[in-house]
Structures are given as C-alpha cells and as structure tokens.
Amino acid sequence: MEHYNMNLTLKVWRQKNTKEKGHFETYNVKGISSEMSFLEMFDVLNEDLVHENKEPIAFDHDCREGICGMCSMYINGRPHGPWNATTTCQLHMRAFKDGETITVEPWRAQAFPVIKDLVVDRSAFDRIIQAGGYISVNTGVTVDANATPISKVNADKAFSTAACIGCGACVAACKNSSAMLFTSAKISQLALLPQGEPERHKRALDMVHQMDEEGFGSCTNTGACEAVCPKEITLESIARMNREFLSASVVSED
C-alpha cells in the first residue's frame, strides 16, 4: 500500500472540566503519515502543543489494540470514525485525504459527563455490570470442559456478545443515548450459558433498572448502535434482553 504524508486541519473539543462550558479549537498538523493510527496522529499534535508551552489535549487510551474500549472519539459525526467495526486506535490516517478538516468530539450523552476535553466518565457502565453481571458457581476442583454441554449455536452467540468492550459507541451513536446494546450484550452473554441460569431473572431486572437509573435514553430500534459497534454486536441482543426482562417481570409477579 502506498505511503504518503498529509496536512490536516483539526477542530477539537476542549473542555476544562465537567462544570465549565466547552468549545472547539482549531489546530493544523503537518507531515502526518497515512500509516499512522488516529491516536498516533493525536500524539504528534500533543507533542507540538507541549513544545509550544500549550496544554495537550486529554483523550482516553490504553491497549491501542482494539480491545480495551477506551479510545472514545466522535470523529466527523461518527463514533470511532468512518471505518466500520473499528475502534479509534485501529483507524488509520489513510481513511482521510490531504487537506481535509476533521472534527473530533467526546461522546455526547447525559450519562457520560465530560471529565476533560475528549475524556468522558463511563462509570455508569460499571454500575450496570455491578447490578447483575455475575454468576453463582461452586469453587473447588476444576470442572471438566465437557461436563456441561452447550450447543454450538448458543456458544457462538454467547461468545459474540461477550466480545463487547464497553466502549460506549452505541450510546454515542443513538439519538436517544440508549445503552440497550451494551446492557443486552452483557445480559445475553450469561443468559445463553447454563452458568448464568441461577440469577437469570434477577439479573435482567436489576441491570435494566440500573440502566434506567443512570439516565440513558430509550431504544427506538433505529439500528445506529449496531452500525457503529466495533465488535459488530447485533440488535438480536436487544431482542433477547427484552424477552429476558419480560419473562423475569412475569415470574416476579407470581
């Protein structure tokens, strides 16, 4: 693949803290390699800002391998940028053209308050997990892998939902800031496996209740969440969660 350098104009959201109002600032970056990742390009920008005795831009990152879910950037109106099934750290600068203007913002959701610049507080996701994302197991001698038979279909579906990295792109893309795809992935993962059976009903009720308590919006099935999910989790998970919640609600009334 041909390698080339480019000059870009960046319009980046700057916000000192949660309470103060934010604004866009414009930066020019030059000589950016087409093979850099988007985060590496931001590293170059921040080095330039430091050399100019200016405050660098705060942004989240950790593994830079597409598995930690930290690199939450809203790029040109799309979470994680223009490529499908891609996190920001996996997005390369060849996705853009020389001379292009790129607008970068944090996730926009009431339940994800901005901490600083492009960093948002996603602890609401942690509280949803804490509300019911666990199983009861007997500890002791390791059970043989074949002792609990699981169908290939269910095992594959559970694995696909377990791939959720909790990045929040689904929330950022949804016009209602709904967390249904994230919550449904966590509920589905355990609902599809026999290990998740003991808390099955309580889990669905508790996690959905916590999701609502956090201030996330409702789902209107537009599919925007599915379209931007870097792990390609589908709306089937939401349908499964709805079934789990309805079943749990009926059982709790008995």
User: CA nearest 210: which of 186, 233, 229?
Assistant: 186
For the stretch 49-79, pLDDT in tens is 999 999 999 999 999 999 999 999 999 999 9
Write down the architecture of domain 5-105 according to CATH.
Roll (3.10)
Determine contact, residues 187/156, Cβ cutoff 8 Å: no
Confidence of residue 138 (pLDDT cuts 50, 70, 90): confident
Please tell me the predicted confidence (pLDDT) of residue 50: 98
pLDDT score of 40 more than 80: yes
Confidence of residue 254 (pLDDT cuts 50, 70, 90): low
Please tell me the predicted confidence (pLDDT) of residue 135: 85
Q: Which two tokens stand for residue 187?
A: 């509920």
Taking residues 207-230, what's their average pLDDT? 97
3-state secondary structure of 247: helix
Domain 122-253 part of CATH 1.10.1060.10: yes
For the stretch 228-245, pLDDT in tens is 999 999 999 999 999 999
pLDDT score of 114 more than 80: yes
Q: Which two tokens stand for residue 73?
A: 């950037």
- Residue ranges, CATH 1.10.1060.10, the chain: 122-253
Please tell me the predicted confidence (pLDDT) of residue 139: 72
For the stretch 186-208, pLDDT in tens is 999 999 998 899 999 999 999 99
Determine contact, residues 16/106, Cβ cutoff 8 Å: no
Confidence of residue 1 (pLDDT cuts 50, 70, 90): low
% of the chain exceeding 70 in pLDDT: 98
The amino acid that residue 246 corresponds to is L
